[in-house]
Structure 1
Amino acid sequence: MSAPRLLLCASASGGGKTTVTCAVLQALMDRGVNPVAFKCGPDYIDPMFHSEIIGAKSRNLDLFFLGADKTRYLLEQNSAGAGLALIEGVMGYYDGIAMSHEASAYHLARVTQTPAVLVLDGRGSALTIAAVVKGMAGFRPDSGIRGVILNRVSPMLYPRLKACIEEETGLAVYGYLPSLPDCTLKSRHLGLVTAGEVANLKEKLHKLAAQAEKSLDLDGLLALASSAPALDPKPIDLPEPVEGAPVIAVAKDKAFCFYYADGLELLERMGARLVEFSPLADKALPEGTCGLYLGGGYPEEFARELADNHSLLREIHDKILHGLPTVAECGGFLYLHRHLGDADGRYDWHMAGAFSGDAHNTGRLGRFGYVTLTAQKDGLLCRAGESFPAHEFHYWDSTTPGADFHAQKPQSDRGWDCAFHSPTLYAGFPHFHFWARPELARNFTAAARRYMQEALL
């Protein structure tokens, strides 16, 4: 049976979606409701807040990666037994790929038939806020917007704004949050700072939750969530799992923390045994490692510590060159370079050197957004000519970015060659979701199984 579900959206980035989402999640956790959280789109960081600090299970729902059927399936699977599935939107509600609504929060709400609540910054607002609400809710006849939450408004102003919005639009207003400067969540170039970096974050979130209990209609939101119809997703056909449970070592620490949890679980369903290790602290790969997964993160911010771990760097260098099946995405790709440095040569840290290239900070966001990757040669993940969706977001570039895939922007003529692909390696800036094409997870696990068998000979 589908859990009650709700999507929080906004008219633009910066409207307070994450703050309100965290406040509601923490308040419901404190009530014992057992919510599960979801983030619309490819962002890794908000789910880290939801899961590592609040303690709610959190997953990504991305229609470009997953398509409608897999999105509904994973929403249903991950919501099983939850008291509420709370989905945080992305950017403005209708903002999708290339000025369309594709892969937007609105698209997700429509595909999953999830009621949406609009989070609006109410500072300095009067009657015009009703026009904004009416325009957002009426922009598409199937907008799914069923209510409003006001952010950063005073207790004195709130009753008048609520009455105005409800009279002019007919939509319910489910409360407000006042301006809470001591509960601000800072941001940086990859979005919100990672959960472990925010001092006293748990205390801040409990303050937000206490305020939510006072000024949000949580019971009304739960009732609205209960009005969502059953999902009834189609079953998803998966490849047969690999036998033998080969060990895939997963880099997991402050430097490497960007993974899709559903993707990791799919590797396990495909037969892998995942063992986490820290490139910052561990001097060697886990015993029995037959595959290596280096996800994204912030290796550049921990470059000194990573460079000082000489024994692990040597082992990873040697084993990759001798055929250890490896997936290295974005930050993991940087780690495999010879050196990390800046364009001015002020610092230069030695890395694993799995290929002859150096990476440097460009000081600006480079290739950004969704792409479709098409393999130009057979390799670890797929055969030449096969494609899968991916995403890029990075301020660094490489002297050797690779050219074994062609990346094509959706609804655009723009494309470029990128990434390395061999029978035992995928390494490049684009990151991807294994559920986008489950054969990728099966192929990676099968390669690890072959490596294990060869090691036993």
Structure 2
Amino acid sequence: MPSPPHAPRGLLVAGTRSGCGKTSVTLGLLRAFSRRGLRVQAFKAGPDFIDPGHHALATGTPSHNLDDWMCGAQGTRRIFARHAAGADLAIVEGVMGLFDGYAAVDAAGSSASLARLLGLPVLLVADAASMARSAAALVGGYLAFEPDLAFCGVLLNNAGSPSHAELLREVMAASLPATPLRGVLPRRAELAMASRHLGLVTAADDAAATERLDALADWVEAHCDLDALLADLPPLMIDRDDDASFPLIGSPEGASPPLAAGGFPPSPPHAPSPSLRPRPSPPPPRLGLARDRAFCFYYAENLRLLEAAGLEIVPFSPLGDAGLPEGLAGLYLGGGYPELHAAALSQNAGMLAAVRGFCASGRPVVAECGGFMYLMESLADLSGRTFPMAGVFPFRAAMGERFAALGYRAVTTTADTPLGPSGTRLRGHEFHYSHLAGDTGEVPDVYAATGRKGPIPDRHGFLRQATLGSYVHVHLAGSPQAAWHFARACREAG
């Protein structure tokens, strides 16, 4: 194995389609390079919450989402630069097929768009099952579709036998001799990762996750020349302007200086009086973060931005804790799988009462998707069993067999919320199987949402006192002023 490169190197693993093996390949590469002693930083293209958890298990380092539609070009570059700069190797897992993104004629949100934005070469994974010469035609079409896109090679997956693998190598050498074939991976059904609604089983719920990661690394190492792949990667061109820690600005308009310790704008410089000791900074407001197997869908950058805005994040478990932590000024209830833990959540009456009372106190609360469901009157699972929840919103959540909603959302608030004044613009993603039941007209709708086909007439954001509930997962990197507003609301409530 060559010595670690002096400058970070990187690549984006993309697939010809969903289900071609790019997640398995990505995890195999992450684990293989990590156990060789390289500092490997993982990223996930798009809004997915589950794959980053597996990435983190593979590398021992948190993985970060990159999405140029939700975060914008500058926000995306900043996230990448901040975390790639200290690594030997940055590996980005793509989303869907290489060119699939926000819309049919819009490259935003696609793996290809992200690779161009970050200057990353693409390692293309193609499912070559039951193919011979057609595999070269498939790969050749992807290589030529957007001529300005750089590739560092191709991996063919699902070879049915050693003779099939050799045939595929002959086909690529004859048809695409200038394209590096980095390996031909044999079909290994036992390495398939378990799935359920919303995607893969989370790393926390997958008892075999660690063992599978090592098996995936063995699989990739046995059939790919990782030394040659690493040696051929060019150094990343990280802009040092994007490489700073980027503390959040002190006001949403950017007119004030950066926040000082505790989240408050610093005082103007002056000569201290020799007879007076400086006043101690007030402690930062404490933000309760629901985090356990039921609530595990958070963008890492959202949490960083909230901390940069001056909040102290205090995790708690709605499943296992008897009540909320002391001294909280606000709550953030993210998404996850409350429907899989509905009985346990419902039985934890002390926590339900504490959350209900906190919302009734008028302190700021943001609840997204699963967290929103937790605040409803009840949750009905797929078997039809109904479990009482916190009852903050007079709705019921009922699970369905298929997606009730899936896609990017651009949101404009129509009233003041904990995330900012009326007119605040947010970007996020919505994906869930449950649907609302009950009279939603009892609670004001404060989100005007649009999708790729234009305005969406459904009600999307609900406000009761200072509790904001929605199925939309907002990415704060696209609207960092919203983190500042949430922090201010917590300070004022505290």
Letter in 1 for 2:399: N
Q: Which has the higher mean CA deviation after the structures are superposed, 37-46 or 93-102? A: 93-102
* Closer, same or farther: CA 441–51 of 1 in aligned 2, 3 Å: same
Paired residue for 2:110?
104
Greater CA radius of gyration, 1 or 2? 2
Alignment of 1:67-106 (within 5 A): 67-100=72-105, 101-106=107-112
Q: SS at the partner of 2:354?
A: helix
Aligned counterpart in structure 2 of residue 114 of structure 1, from 120, 142, 158: 120
Q: Is residue 156 from structure 1 mapped to residue 163 from structure 2 by the alignment?
A: yes
Aligned counterpart in structure 2 of residue 187 of structure 1, from 195, 202, 205: 195
Paired residue for 1:328?
367
Paired residue for 2:433?
395
Contact between 2:27 and 2:58, CA under 8 Å: does it hold in 1? no
Paired residue for 1:127?
133
C-alpha distance in structure 2 between counterparts of 1:237 and 1:305, whole Å: 38
Paired residue for 2:182?
174
Paired residue for 2:225?
217
Letter in 2 for 1:357: F
Contact between 2:57 and 2:210, CA under 8 Å: does it hold in 1? no
Q: SS at the partner of 2:248?
A: coil
Alignment of 1:7-26 (within 5 A): 7-26=12-31
Contact between 1:84 and 1:225, CA under 8 Å: does it hold in 2? no
Q: SS at the partner of 2:229?
A: helix
* Closer, same or farther: CA 86–400 of 1 in aligned 2, 3 Å: farther
* CA RMSD across the alignment: 1.9
Paired residue for 1:239?
249
* Consecutive unaligned residues in structure 1, runs of 5 or more: 453-457
C-alpha distance in structure 2 between counterparts of 1:200 and 1:209, whole Å: 14
CA offset digits 1:405-432 (Å, max 9, x no partner): 1111135354433212366222111111
CA offset digits 1:39-66 (Å, max 9, x no partner): 1000000001111354243110011111
Contact between 1:12 and 1:93, CA under 8 Å: does it hold in 2? yes
C-alpha distance in structure 2 between counterparts of 1:250 and 1:445, whole Å: 14
Contact between 1:33 and 1:83, CA under 8 Å: does it hold in 2? yes
Contact between 1:293 and 1:328, CA under 8 Å: does it hold in 2? yes
C-alpha distance in structure 1 between counterparts of 2:247 and 2:308, whole Å: 12
Letter in 2 for 1:112: L
C-alpha distance in structure 2 between counterparts of 1:238 and 1:348, whole Å: 42
Paired residue for 2:267?
none
Paired residue for 1:139?
145
C-alpha distance in structure 2 between counterparts of 1:202 and 1:230, whole Å: 32
C-alpha distance in structure 1 between counterparts of 2:316 and 2:299, whole Å: 17
C-alpha distance in structure 1 between counterparts of 2:369 and 2:233, whole Å: 37
Q: SS at the partner of 2:132?
A: coil
Q: SS at the partner of 1:32?
A: coil
CA offset digits 1:386-407 (Å, max 9, x no partner): 2111111011111355621111
Contact between 2:129 and 2:158, CA under 8 Å: does it hold in 1? yes
* Consecutive unaligned residues in structure 2, runs of 5 or more: 1-5, 251-258, 265-282
Tell me by how many angstroms 1:231 deviates. 4.2
Paired residue for 1:256?
295
Letter in 2 for 1:197: D
Paired residue for 2:211?
203
Give identity over the alignment, percent. 38
C-alpha distance in structure 2 between counterparts of 1:68 and 1:231, whole Å: 13
Paired residue for 2:393?
355
Q: SS at the partner of 1:356?
A: strand
Letter in 1 for 2:469: A
Q: SS at the partner of 1:159?
A: helix
* Closer, same or farther: CA 364–44 of 1 in aligned 2, 3 Å: same
Alignment of 1:408-447 (within 5 A): 408-421=450-463, 424-447=466-489
Paired residue for 1:58?
63
C-alpha distance in structure 2 between counterparts of 1:141 and 1:98, whole Å: 20
Contact between 1:69 and 1:233, CA under 8 Å: does it hold in 2? no
Paired residue for 1:372?
410
Q: SS at the partner of 1:152?
A: strand
Contact between 1:115 and 1:228, CA under 8 Å: does it hold in 2? no
Q: Which has the higher mean CA deviation after the structures are superposed, 413-422 or 67-76? A: 413-422
Contact between 1:36 and 1:56, CA under 8 Å: does it hold in 2? yes
Q: Which has the higher mean CA deviation after the structures are superposed, 176-185 or 414-423? A: 414-423
* Closer, same or farther: CA 8–205 of 1 in aligned 2, 3 Å: same
* Count of residue pairs brought into register by the alignment: 451
C-alpha distance in structure 2 between counterparts of 1:199 and 1:355, whole Å: 35
C-alpha distance in structure 1 between counterparts of 2:31 and 2:414, whole Å: 47
Q: Which has the higher mean CA deviation after the structures are superposed, 49-58 or 5-14? A: 49-58
Contact between 2:333 and 2:366, CA under 8 Å: does it hold in 1? yes
Q: SS at the partner of 1:416?
A: coil
Letter in 1 for 2:47: P
Contact between 1:34 and 1:56, CA under 8 Å: does it hold in 2? no
C-alpha distance in structure 1 between counterparts of 2:54 and 2:409, whole Å: 26
Paired residue for 1:455?
none
Letter in 2 for 1:24: L
C-alpha distance in structure 2 between counterparts of 1:411 and 1:228, whole Å: 36
CA offset digits 1:141-182 (Å, max 9, x no partner): 112223101112133332332232233222101113211222
Contact between 2:40 and 2:59, CA under 8 Å: does it hold in 1? no
Contact between 1:117 and 1:149, CA under 8 Å: does it hold in 2? yes
Contact between 1:2 and 1:76, CA under 8 Å: does it hold in 2? no
Tell me by how many angstroms 1:197 deviates. 2.1
Q: Is residue 274 from structure 1 mapped to residue 313 from structure 2 by the alignment?
A: yes
C-alpha distance in structure 2 between counterparts of 1:3 and 1:415, whole Å: 46
Q: SS at the partner of 2:371?
A: helix
Query: After the TM superposition, which segments of 4 or more aligned residues of structure 1 sit over 6 Å from their partners?
Result: none
Tell me by how many angstroms 1:309 deviates. 0.7
Alignment of 1:312-327 (within 5 A): 312-327=351-366
TM-score normalised over the length of structure 1: 0.94
Q: Is residue 34 from structure 1 mapped to residue 72 from structure 2 by the alignment?
A: no
Q: Which has the higher mean CA deviation after the structures are superposed, 428-437 or 148-157? A: 148-157
Contact between 1:378 and 1:421, CA under 8 Å: does it hold in 2? no
C-alpha distance in structure 1 between counterparts of 2:393 and 2:453, whole Å: 33
Q: Which has the higher mean CA deviation after the structures are superposed, 251-260 or 168-177? A: 168-177
* Closer, same or farther: CA 74–319 of 1 in aligned 2, 3 Å: same
